[in-house]
Amino acid sequence: MIVLIAHVGHWAINLLYVAPLVVAVGVLGYQARKDRRGGARGEPAVRHPPSEPPPA
Amino acid sequence: MNRRRLLVLCLAGLGTVLAWAPASALAHGLVGRQDLPIPKWLFGWAAAAVLVASFVALAVLWPKPRLEQAPERRVAGVPRFLEPLLGAIGLAFFGLVVYAGFAGSQTTTNNLAPTAIFVLLWVGIPIASLFFGDVFKAFNPWRAAARAVAWLAAKVSRGGLPAPMPYPVRLGRWPAAIGILAFAWIELVYSGRGDPSNLAVLALAYMAVQFVGMSLYGIEPWNRYGDAFGVYFGLIARMSPLRWTRTALFVRKPLRGLTNLDIVPGTVALVILIIGTTSFDGFSGGPAWGTIGPDLTSLFGELGLGPGSALELAFTLGLVVVVLIVGGMYRLGVIGMGTIDPQGASTQELAARFAHTLVPIGLAYVVAHYFSLLAYEGQRMAYLVSDPLGTGANIFGTHNATVDYTWVSATTIWYVQVAALVIGHVAGLVLAHERALVSFDGDSQLATRSQYWMLVVMIAFTSLGLWLLSAANA
């Protein structure tokens, strides 16, 4: 543990490269959750393509 | 101006400010040997911001398909003698490379073969293909030789030659994918890669395999699906605004050629291999592999392997793992896309449908990782053309040319690398958006929604690419 903390500067900088990905996945997850809640309330989550009429 | 356009402009402005604000704030802070005004990880954040801004801009400003049906225009005729002439030049150069490999100096830098194969062919041709179209097809030595033999045989037999077998659909681009993996293994793992005579033997072996493939399935089908270099460079050439046929030159929108790529088995594997093997090249030059590699090598050594074999096995394992990680990243993105896709397409189907979007990323990785190789090692061609065997000859008077390591700075190389990665991933987003629009009959809202996960994949590949580059340059 001490070694890990002592060298935190070496590996922590690598985590900064992952930050944009974590943010993007977080936003996507939030949006998906919001969509699911909207779906549960009966709001259409997506519009259907013109060639494919929504199911009755 | 409607509200959506205003929102896009605001986001684009914000992205620009975010990307440049730290630069001005930390302009005095010089980082590393590359003399950068901001830390390297901040380039990753800026690149991600550019991707998000591009995604939003596509959603609003690109509501209808623009590439898939875009017409191409014939701009010039091509003389009939050009194709055999270029083929003869390609074949002669291939012969010279092989001869130099066998008969020349066995010092890597004094022989034409290593530089011609690892720099000119592997890095130079993809970049040339982006700008000038499928140049390799014109110079392809085994295709030229096979066409000459086929022409002669047809004359001698007076049309009595048997027709080749139909190319098996299930084979698809798998032979090409295997060929790319084999080449990458030789380049990154094989300990004898710097030996010109080994390279000459391998070049002849590859040519022999191509002859077998072409004689079984026909010259053009094999070149289209089986020849690793022909297929790889042909994929890159599909991004080019130029398309050549035997008789004419056509101009089209950049990236247009990729939208009608026929997805056959092995296509996804091929593009993943291009990205994955290049990633391993970057990874193996960084500190992480510097820790893992020696441990793995000593482990294999303890299991009874010799030092050389243990090292090769460790690198082989690293190569395979990195390729699998890259493939896994794409797979995860596609699975995520499947959860949103209202048409309920399978993961396999979605992976194939969007495979062409990885081609610009593959080229971006190649440019980012090998630009310095081309910029520095490529200069060796100046003296190698005069002295291909390393025997002291001076055919063109350039024997005394040297490699100038100062003509392009490390800082410039970093900016080229970042620009290549960002442009490549934005191009990937454009292709994915276009394909989604076509898939959903032009419904831009649905298309955008289905591409959320593709945006995540692009951000992941950009972050990975920049991390690998920063680690390798550290």
How many angstroms separate the CA atoms of B241 and B72, rounded? Answer: 9
For residue B273 the two structure tokens come to 């291999």
* Chain A CB contacts of B440 below 8 Å: 49
* Chain A CB contacts of B471 below 8 Å: 14
Report ipTM (2 d.p.).
0.70
Disruptive mutation site among A7, A46, A47, A51 for chain B (greatest number of B CBs within 10 Å): A46
How many angstroms separate the CA atoms of B46 and B422, rounded? Answer: 10
Alpha carbon B429 to its chain centroid, in Å, reads 17
Under an 8 A CB cutoff, do A17 and B443 touch?
no
CB-based contact, B22 to chain A, within 8 Å: no
Give me the mean pLDDT over the B295-300 stretch.
93
> Nearest CB to B441: which of A17, A32, A50?
A50
3-state secondary structure of B251: strand
Largest CA distance in chain B: 77
Under an 8 A CB cutoff, do A20 and B452 touch?
no
User: Has residue B16 got a pLDDT over 90?
Assistant: no
Under an 8 A CB cutoff, do A20 and B466 touch?
no
Model pTM score:
0.85
User: Has residue B233 got a pLDDT over 80?
Assistant: yes
pLDDT for the residue numbered B74: 95
b or e along B198-212 (b: 16 or more beta carbons within 10 Å of the residue's beta carbon)? Answer: bbbebbeebeebbee
Sign of the dihedral through C-alpha B14, B17, B20, B22: negative
Disruptive mutation site among B41, B421, B458 for chain A (greatest number of A CBs within 10 Å): B41
Give the minimum alpha-carbon distance from B13 to chain A in angstroms, rounded to a whole number: 19
Give the minimum alpha-carbon distance from B7 to chain A in angstroms, rounded to a whole number: 18
How many angstroms separate the CA atoms of B402 and B367, rounded? Answer: 23
How many angstroms separate the CA atoms of A14 and B336, rounded? Answer: 25
* Chain B CB contacts of A13 below 8 Å: 41
Give me the mean pLDDT over the B225-249 stretch.
96
How many CB pairs (< 8 A) connect A and B? Answer: 64
Residues of chain A whose beta carbon is less than 8 angstroms from a beta carbon of chain B are 13-14, 16-21, 23-25, 28, 31-32, 46-52
Under an 8 A CB cutoff, do B339 and A32 touch?
yes
| Average pLDDT score, chain B | 88
pLDDT for the residue numbered B239: 96
pLDDT for the residue numbered A10: 64
User: Has residue B44 got a pLDDT over 70?
Assistant: yes
> Nearest CB to B44: which of A17, A46, A48?
A17
pLDDT for the residue numbered B448: 84
Here the contacts of B385-394 (C-beta below 8 Å, separation 24 or greater) are B385/B112, B387/B110, B388/B96, B388/B100, B388/B104, B388/B111, B388/B112, B389/B99, B389/B100, B389/B103, B389/B104, B389/B105, B389/B111, B389/B112, B390/B100, B390/B104, B390/B105, B390/B107, B390/B110, B390/B111, B391/B104, B391/B105
Alpha carbon B369 to its chain centroid, in Å, reads 10
pLDDT tens, residue by residue, B18-28: 333 333 333 33
How many angstroms separate the CA atoms of B27 and B20, rounded? Answer: 10
Residue B31 has phi, psi (to 5 degrees) of -115, 125
Q: Are B453 and B337 in contact (CB under 8 A)?
A: yes
State the amino acid at position B437 in one-letter form. Answer: L
pLDDT for the residue numbered A39: 64
